[in-house]
Structure 1
Amino acid sequence: MRWLIVASCAAAAVHGSPVAAQAYRDVAPQPAPQSPRSAQSKPQSQTQGDASKVAVERLAGLVFEPAGVPPTMPPAQQRIVANALPVLDAAFLQNFTADLDKPLTFGRLAEIRQAVIEHYRKAGKPLVDVYVPEQDVSSGVVRIDIAEFRLGRVRANGNRYFSSGLLEREMPLASNEPILQADVSLGLAVLNANPYRRVDAIFAPGEATNTTDVVLQTDDRLPVRANVGYDNEGVPSLGRDRLFAGLGYGNLFGLDQQIAYQFTASNDFVSGNPSIEGRPDRARFMAHAFSYVAPLPWLDSIEFFGVYAQSTPRLPDTYGQTGISAQFSVRYDWRLPSTGDWAQLVQFGYDFKRSNNDLEFGGFQVFNSNTHIHQFVAVYDISQQKDTGTAHAAATFVASPGGLDGDNSDTAFNTARQGATSRYTYVQLTGSDAFALGRGFTLAASGTFQWTPDTLLPSEEIGLGGETSVRGYDPYVMLGDRGWNVQTELRTPALAIGASAVLAQPFVFFDAGRVWTRIDQPAEYNPGMLASVGAGVRFRWSRFVDFRCTYAAPLRAATPDGSKAPMVMLYLSIGT
């Protein structure tokens, strides 16, 4: 039996999507880079001998049967039958009626066998042996046997930092049971959700007859990450230049649990601030963010993540106070069986958010009271691993019942934003994909659409500007209750720099977005549209250094008579 390799698939981290709350997304712990996907083995062509040689002078019938059962003849009224093989339905068998009463060549017989194998694969059963046993074909009836391989055992190989027992438990297969592609894909999605390893499933001959072992070929590394970095993606009032440092561990208690922490601060955390009477001597922006993911024995997982941020503009206390924002969120990830090559995930969750300001979203206000958000989240997420990356789409529904505590009221919300209510709903759709254009060039596109019948607080609005929406503008230079944005990139082939492991990939881009507010708001433009073009380059040295430089030119001013000056955007992360 040939060895087959099934490409692994990775689950998308849904809590990193925009709906997780923009404030958390901006300062979330940086994920550990994953190992590159291993190349899939190409099926080898089989030697078929003289395909034109006639095997049966006149085909009178075809009988498909499980291997090892006594042979039977087809009923007189049925010339093509499948006994005890429900996968081979009548519609499939109808494909071979044109072969009846004609010579059957060895080449055509091989095609019939291959068609059966492909049909089983489409039915989610990739491991079958289809063969023609020794038989007397003088009657013109040909018997084809089908052996469905069952699992011998699951065994891990190549792992150094994750125990074999842990990996084997996360592959949902049982000994002596059929091996279904959906189960293998689900297991790989769970195994590859941890970025500190890459797992492929290899099918190898088992010890017993008609059994197959599933070998979890693992490329793992020490599940620890420490990183530091810089970017200039902060809002102007809190300092564009930001520094961050993080720690992560990917096998907490030896149970495959992941935990990560990141501290983000404006650059005056190091350089210091000018002396301003009445202003606390602290950095303009500081945020502590964490995430924790725990897989469950039934292959689902639970996530906790949150952030605590302090915002202190360079203004005397007579003009404002320190802005405090906090969030705590929980998500339950329910993995569904794969549909073809697409991994499916349904997610349910809850967010609590507390804030007394709009500074993180480009505003200038610190309020004398807090707003509390209590909202519930439902997400349907699908993803597919491709040679060009991960194709991904998600639909999210968010609902807040309102009135769950004193600061979760219409009065508190209306103070923070005119017309905002504590009871609201909104829908958000996101998607991304990359397409190979030939000669190593790739076209990548991503987009977000949001709609709501309500007026939302800034943390729930869709924002334009910044690296993740429309480049060339300050983050959140425009906010809206409803809107969309699209990013497109044309990427060149990755270029190796000398004999080093450093790769550089230039790109050009076009971004655009448009937002609407449900009602007219003071100092907000309704509707507002942004668009930009530019070019950049990404540098990567293995998993250790990630650098991006982007030159972006706005095509429209963010405000009437505003500037359209180009912007250089930088990002650097150095880690283990």
Structure 2
Amino acid sequence: MAAALSGAALHVLAQTADRVEQDTRRPPEPVRRDSVRISQPTFAENAPAGAATVTFTLGDVQISGNRTLGTDDLKPLWAGRVGQTMTLAEAFGIAAAISARYREAGYILSQAIVPAQDISTTGPATLRIQVLEGYVDRVSFSGFQSPGLAEHLAPVTAERPLRLATLERALLLVNELAGINAQANLKAGAAPGSSELVIVATQAARAFSVLLHNRSTPAQGRVRLEASAELRGVTGDFDRHALRLVSSGDKRLNLLAYNGEAPLGTQGLKMLWSASVSRSEPDSPLPNIDTESTNIQAGLSYPVLRSRRSNLAVRGALNGYNNQTAEGDISRDRIRALRIGLTADHADDLDGISLLDLEASVGIDGLGASPADDPRLNGARPDFKRLTLYAARLQSLGGDWSMLLALTAQHANDRMPAAEQLGLGGEVFLRGFDPSEAIGERGYAGKVELRFNARLGSFSTTWYAFGDAGRVRRLQVGAPAVSTSLASFGGGLRFNGPSGIKGYLEVAKPQKKDVASEGNRDARVFVGLGADF
């Protein structure tokens, strides 16, 4: 049936209820590094007054307390000075070099000191240096307090000496707990080498968002409402529950989705679950085009690596959804799929952040899935195999300028249900076109966006210019595959203001093909206005 339809009809089919979640899904983002600021203690390593005038011949260095870095590893720091005359100030310099070596190895609280001693000035002298391998012996809290926070920070007090990597991971994971914002300060403890970690934490128990925009089609309503409500700490300290509504304001498009998460243990493992129902009744002359969809998913995610420099998280989920025409039972997909993926990001010395997201999805038999020979699948395979990729780089250009480069791609060998296909058009890629203007089993798209941040009174603004292009290939039943190429360019403004006000204004010019719902390639204006509170 699909091979005989016009481009406009295919576009209406692409706007079925099962595409709504795909079209409104945000792309992966890097872990927030600005959520963690560590105020490191400073150590008094300065030589005493007059040290530069006291000289002696270095015969040997006796070092103690260095359980982590062996003496053989540290010896090159002073071996070249043995047998030479040096000042007492230079002796303190050896201790400072040992402290620096510890911190280069990640032990930010460790230091070497020159204890009080008698140093012979008449012959080769032995210099004694003591290493204090630093640790945190106490964690105190200000603001929001919970036994769960202390449990998440237990690795910090357990590790001796403390590594920066352990402290960063613990603080980043704490800041990923539902609604938590925590800052850390370190101050000297009572015992030699000890420090106290002071956590200033807050928890936002709820969050709401609403956005009204016109990034839609006449068939599904020119104006679209997106609203969400999120509650944290409902059944425990750090669980999260969110409701999301996407609606045309009438029967043409409605989606209600719920998703939740809860930590399992204190090392970042999370249980994730979601469910949604949606119904689409496009204003179209095509018969039997009304569709409805239900979707449920449960999975786990785990942060393999968490630091301010690099991050890696893996995830797995079991997903099941049912999509069908509302009347006539002409089309029906009952899909059960296993999905595994990873997200990695890295902040480099070029003042940029790179991100990579990979996901593999496999359709599985059983659990109520449609049989492969079900004619209502319209040729789609329920046991599909799909690989998707998203890559991006946000590069600072100096001052208030930056550039975003992003790429998405998908590969599959067999015809798949519409919900599994790559869709081009909408807010993320091919912004000059409607959501899922073109879909296909295989495809790719890329974009570049030049940004300039400016403060206008009480509003923070981002001015931008963009260009994007992509191509999808859609397999047909009993007909050759159809390839569609799209491109667009434009510019706009995003803003945030007092009381959580947010919005955007964008002008986009489609290229390479007409917009199906408009029948032309005229420039389009998209406007959104809402608030976070």
Establish whether residue 134 from structure 1 lines up as the match of residue 103 from structure 2. no
Q: Encode CA deviations 1:211-254: one digit per residue, 9 max, x unaligned.
A: 22222122444x12233221222355322421133221122134
Distance (whole Å) between structure 2 residues aligned to residue 95 and residue 142 of structure 1: 13
Which of the numbers 447, 451, 456 marks the counterpart of 1:487? 447
Equivalent residue, structure 2, for 1:76: none
Q: Secondary structure at the match of 1:182?
A: helix
Contact map agreement 1:289 1:307 (CA 8 A) in 2? yes
Distance (whole Å) between structure 1 residues aligned to residue 50 and residue 105 of structure 2: 28
Equivalent residue, structure 1, for 2:206: 224
The Cα of 1:457 is off from its aligned counterpart by: 1.9
Aligned partner of 1:455: which letter?
Answer: R
Equivalent residue, structure 2, for 1:392: 355
Distance 1:367 1:106, change over 3 A: farther
| CA RMSD, Structure 1 to Structure 2 (Å) | 3.8
The Cα of 1:168 is off from its aligned counterpart by: 2.0
Which of the numbers 303, 306, 322 marks the counterpart of 1:338? 306
Which of the numbers 320, 334, 348 marks the counterpart of 1:372? 334
Distance (whole Å) between structure 1 residues aligned to residue 94 and residue 173 of structure 2: 36
Distance (whole Å) between structure 1 residues aligned to residue 441 and residue 60 of structure 2: 66
> What number of residue pairs does the alignment pair up?
505
Equivalent residue, structure 2, for 1:442: 402
Distance (whole Å) between structure 1 residues aligned to residue 514 and residue 388 of structure 2: 24
Establish whether residue 514 from structure 1 lines up as the match of residue 476 from structure 2. no
Distance (whole Å) between structure 1 residues aligned to residue 40 and residue 193 of structure 2: 23
Superposition pairs of residues 45-60 of structure 1, within 5 angstroms: 48=46, 53=52, 57-60=56-59
Equivalent residue, structure 1, for 2:527: 570
The Cα of 1:288 is off from its aligned counterpart by: 0.3
Q: Secondary structure at the match of 1:327?
A: strand
Contact map agreement 1:186 1:343 (CA 8 A) in 2? no
Aligned partner of 1:146: which letter?
Answer: V
Which of the numbers 282, 288, 292 marks the counterpart of 1:313? 282
Establish whether residue 295 from structure 1 lines up as the match of residue 277 from structure 2. no
Distance 1:94 1:495, change over 3 A: same
Equivalent residue, structure 2, for 1:152: 137
Q: Secondary structure at the match of 2:453?
A: coil
The Cα of 1:430 is off from its aligned counterpart by: 2.0
Equivalent residue, structure 1, for 2:102: 120
Equivalent residue, structure 2, for 1:554: 510
TM-score, length basis structure 1? 0.77
Distance (whole Å) between structure 2 residues aligned to residue 30 and residue 541 of structure 1: 24
Distance (whole Å) between structure 2 residues aligned to residue 440 and residue 248 of structure 1: 32
Which of the numbers 168, 187, 191 marks the counterpart of 1:208? 191
Establish whether residue 525 from structure 1 lines up as the match of residue 482 from structure 2. yes
Q: Secondary structure at the match of 1:169?
A: helix
Distance (whole Å) between structure 2 residues aligned to residue 455 and residue 182 of structure 1: 46
Establish whether residue 261 from structure 1 lines up as the match of residue 221 from structure 2. no
Contact map agreement 1:171 1:188 (CA 8 A) in 2? yes
Distance (whole Å) between structure 2 residues aligned to residue 22 and residue 40 of structure 1: 43
The Cα of 1:541 is off from its aligned counterpart by: 1.6
Q: Secondary structure at the match of 2:166?
A: helix
Contact map agreement 1:251 1:258 (CA 8 A) in 2? yes
Equivalent residue, structure 2, for 1:65: 64
Distance (whole Å) between structure 2 residues aligned to residue 396 and residue 173 of structure 1: 31
Contact map agreement 2:207 2:230 (CA 8 A) in 1? yes
Contact map agreement 2:330 2:376 (CA 8 A) in 1? no
Contact map agreement 2:432 2:508 (CA 8 A) in 1? yes
The Cα of 1:393 is off from its aligned counterpart by: 2.6
Distance (whole Å) between structure 2 residues aligned to residue 218 and residue 397 of structure 1: 37
Q: Encode CA deviations 1:129-162: one digit per residue, 9 max, x unaligned.
A: 2222233444344333211223222222133xxx
Distance 1:409 1:334, change over 3 A: same
Distance 1:525 1:206, change over 3 A: same
Contact map agreement 1:28 1:290 (CA 8 A) in 2? no
Contact map agreement 2:358 2:390 (CA 8 A) in 1? yes
Establish whether residue 456 from structure 1 lines up as the match of residue 412 from structure 2. no
Distance 1:338 1:265, change over 3 A: closer
Equivalent residue, structure 2, for 1:274: none
Distance (whole Å) between structure 2 residues aligned to residue 445 and residue 516 of structure 1: 23
Establish whether residue 250 from structure 1 lines up as the match of residue 250 from structure 2. no
TM-score, length basis structure 2? 0.82
Q: Encode CA deviations 1:360-405: one digit per residue, 9 max, x unaligned.
A: xxxxx9852421111111122234579989753322222223x315
Q: Which runs of 5 or more structure 2 residues have no equivalent in the other structure?
A: 1-17
Equivalent residue, structure 1, for 2:21: 24
The Cα of 1:302 is off from its aligned counterpart by: 0.7
Q: Which runs of 5 or more structure 1 residues have no equivalent in the other structure?
A: 1-20, 67-83, 270-282, 360-364
Q: Secondary structure at the match of 2:148?
A: helix
Contact map agreement 1:392 1:433 (CA 8 A) in 2? yes
Distance 1:99 1:338, change over 3 A: farther
Q: Encode CA deviations 1:76-127: one digit per residue, 9 max, x unaligned.
A: xxxxxxxx53434856654654444545456765665454444434444321
Distance (whole Å) between structure 1 residues aligned to residue 265 and residue 164 of structure 2: 20
Distance 1:234 1:165, change over 3 A: same
The Cα of 1:339 is off from its aligned counterpart by: 5.7
Distance (whole Å) between structure 1 residues aligned to residue 199 and residue 136 of structure 2: 13
Equivalent residue, structure 1, for 2:497: 541
Aligned partner of 1:449: which letter?
Answer: A
Contact map agreement 1:257 1:293 (CA 8 A) in 2? yes
